[in-house]
A and B are shown apart, each in its own frame.
Chain A
Amino acid sequence: MSADQRVYVIDDDEAVRDSMGMLLESADIDYSCFASADEFLDDHDETRRGCLVLDIRMPGMTGLELQKSLGATGSTLPIIFLTGHGDVPMAVEAMRQGAFDFLRKPVNENNFIERIQLALDQESGDWRQKTDREQLCERVASLTGREREVFKMVAEGIANKVIASELGISERTVEVHRAQVMKKLGARTLAQLVRIHIESE
């Protein structure tokens, strides 16, 4: 678990909320509790890290609605749903919408902690990936217009000679641009350059 990750517990039942908090505390996991989806959304921003534990059945905005709303903002926070007796159809819907998991109340605590850890790990990986991609995009953005043209054509496997004639420049100039692109993007081989191109799109 990374230091800035925490578990966001959203449940309208005070006792369930409180006991879940205590369990997370006993497992040395940071957490915050909210009594409703609205309360959670009130000071939500995209810098939040960690995962959500969400009661599927709540007055006001339901768990499923919160999931949709977060999905629409591009949030990748994993959501573990807590369901009661007879909520299976809703749980299936939640999974279809990309929930991380769902657990029946009363939950098996060890399983619960384990799932939380997995969700946090996944979010960690996602975050790293996301961060990498963001850095990559920044680097691509630092290319000049001509360099970007050369980058794109090289990555598509077009020969230097062809590129030179297409762009109306000398083959030598193409080679200089290509070396500059490799340097700026931190790629050492053509294969790396190709992967960067794919990821950046």
Chain B
Amino acid sequence: MAQNTQTQMENQSSNGDFYRLETLLQNLPGMAYRCLNLKHWPMDFVSDGCFDLCGYQRHEIESQQVLWGDFTHPEDVDFVDRTVHAAADKGEPFEVEYRIIAKNGQEKWVWERGRVVDYRDDGIAILEGFINDITDRKLAESALIRAEAYAQAIVESAVDAVITVDDQGSIESFNQAASAMFGYRADEVRGLHCRRLLAPEYFREFDRFFQRRRDPAAIAVQSIELGGSDKHGREFPIVLSMREVRDVDEKKFVLLIRDLTEQRRAEKEVREQRDVLAHVDRLNTLGEMAAGIAHEINQPLTAISMYAQSSIRFLNKSEPQLNRLQDALQKLSQQAHRAGAVIERMQEMTRPHQSHQEVIDANRMLREIHQLGEVEAQIRNFIIVLRLDDNLPAVLCDAIQVQQVILNLLRNGMESMRADGCSPGSKIVLQAQVDNGRLRISIIDSGQGISRKLAKQLYQPFMSTKESGMGLGLSISRSIIAAHGGQLEFMNNKVAGTTFHFSLEVSS
């Protein structure tokens, strides 16, 4: 049979064209061939590229000592066979990719294209074609496929909803987390506008945000908090960020959505706990200040009582002194208001309080707490020096809680000064100044200073150097300041004592 083929081929290419073609083929990568469409494809012509491709010499193949099917990967041989036969039966060209095992045992990917060019007398098809090494391309491809699968797995296992949309905002893909979050199956929402996932009152805000997709620099860093809405209309807080998918023909965007419900709940819990602790601390503080507060209220009461008695005496005189009476009553009324203000300030401080930040006149807030601190200072016979700039800006804060922090720090400072044996009339400074666009508030005492050992455990709850102290003050204070985006810090002064300071956001 091999003999027959040989004869036929020689007949067909008995002109000089064949040799020219062969020269041409020598310079091509890959291998041209002619074979019979029989099992293992016996070849009667291969080009010189065969050696590079499979490691066998041309004559080894053309003499059919080795057959092409012998090198074909055993797992692929049936599939190649089916493909070639099917094409041959229809008289169509075929194209197939499969693996071969070269003479040195190396596995290679090849691409083959061929077609039936003639039939032998016995009806066996003669095939001609070209086989090329595509191992490099295949390796790159499979790396890509692995990477894609990896990325896909990440997307699917992500806790955040990952949704891709087209340039119009229509949903293209929807991961499992998105399904869990919004209650839709991926196939239900594909093609719908992604606004479907939002509560209607957030549409406009989202549209404005989505507009910014034209500016990649802007969207790369931005995220937005919105209200999500699931299939059943349940609304929940979300944070959404957007990125453009690069290197694809059409514009596509990935939306990352995180459900903030849990986070919000946890935040709320922390806030509530802090409020409760802060309240306990305020009650405790004011309890410790009871003597001073009683004094503070007793003063106006004493004055009221004396003005009242004076009034009676002015009236009871043989010639009533009405002009003095008016003076007395006016002053009496002032003192009643003074006592009322003290009580009101106490009530403010002792009332359970849900923290909320608002725009506050810094000077007023500091003067108020200075007055309250004075109560403590008088009892201890120290002086609080208030150093304010005339035009301090308004700040954004929870005034009650910030005042609580300042009061705590003033009391601590005075306690330290007492323990250090500071003489009566010693000063503690409450100072406020604008620093780097924030309002910096400092409490500067002249007490013992803070030892390295104490510094380490300073903010621990229930740690106190005071006998009656609960040890909550500083840890609460720090957490209050942290909730204001600041940091409560201290440093020992050069001469004596300690400076505690923190900063508040200036309201624009």
Contacts and interface: CB of A to CB of B under 8 A. Distances in A.
Interface string A36-54: 0000000000000000000
Interface in A8-22: 13, 15-16, 18-20, 22
Contact of A19 (B291, B298, B310, B378): B310
Nearest to B325: A26
Which among A15, A26, A82, A109 has the greatest number of chain B C-beta atoms within 10 A? Answer: A26
Contacts of B310: 19, 22-23, 25-26
B276 interface: no
B294 A19 contact: no
Interface stretch (B135-143, B301-309, B386-394, B444-452): B301-309
Contacts of B305: 19, 106-107, 109
Instruction: Kindly state the interface size class of chain B when it binds its partner.
Output: 20 to 34
A15 B303 contact: yes
B338 interface: yes
A26 B314 contact: yes
A85 B299 CA distance: 11
A59 B299 contact: no
B338 to A, nearest CB: 7
Given A27-B313, A59-B383, A109-B309, A22 B328 contact: yes
Contacts of B303: 13, 15-16, 18-19
A109 B307 CA distance: 10
Contacts of A106: 298, 301-302, 304-306
Contacts of B334: 15
Contacts of A86: 291, 294
Which among A22, A85, A107 has the greatest number of chain B C-beta atoms within 10 A? Answer: A22
Nearest to A104: B298
Interface string A72-99: 0000000000101110000000000000
B485 interface: no
A110 B309 CA distance: 8
Instruction: Kindly state the interface size class of chain A when it binds its partner.
Output: 20 to 34
A60 interface: yes
B324 A26 contact: yes
Interface of B is mostly: helix
Interface in B302-356: 302-307, 309-310, 313-314, 321, 324, 327-328, 331, 334-335, 338
Contacts of A184: none
B191 interface: no
Contact of A20 (B291, B306, B313, B324): B306
Nearest to B313: A26
Contacts of B324: 22, 25-26
A25 B321 CA distance: 11
A115 to B, nearest CB: 14
A105 interface: yes
A163 to B, nearest CB: 60
Contact of A105 (B302, B313, B327): B302
A107 B309 CA distance: 11
B295 A57 contact: yes
Contact of B331 (A15, A60, A109): A15
B463 to A, nearest CB: 29
Interface of A: 13, 15-16, 18-20, 22-23, 25-27, 57, 59-60, 62, 82, 84-86, 105-107, 109-110
Interface of B: 291, 294-295, 298-307, 309-310, 313-314, 321, 324, 327-328, 331, 334-335, 338, 378-379, 381, 383, 424-425
12 contacts: A15-B303, A15-B334, A18-B331, A23-B309, A59-B381, A62-B381, A82-B302, A86-B291, A86-B294, A105-B298, A105-B299, A106-B304
Closest 3 CB pairs of A and B: A109-B309, A26-B313, A19-B306
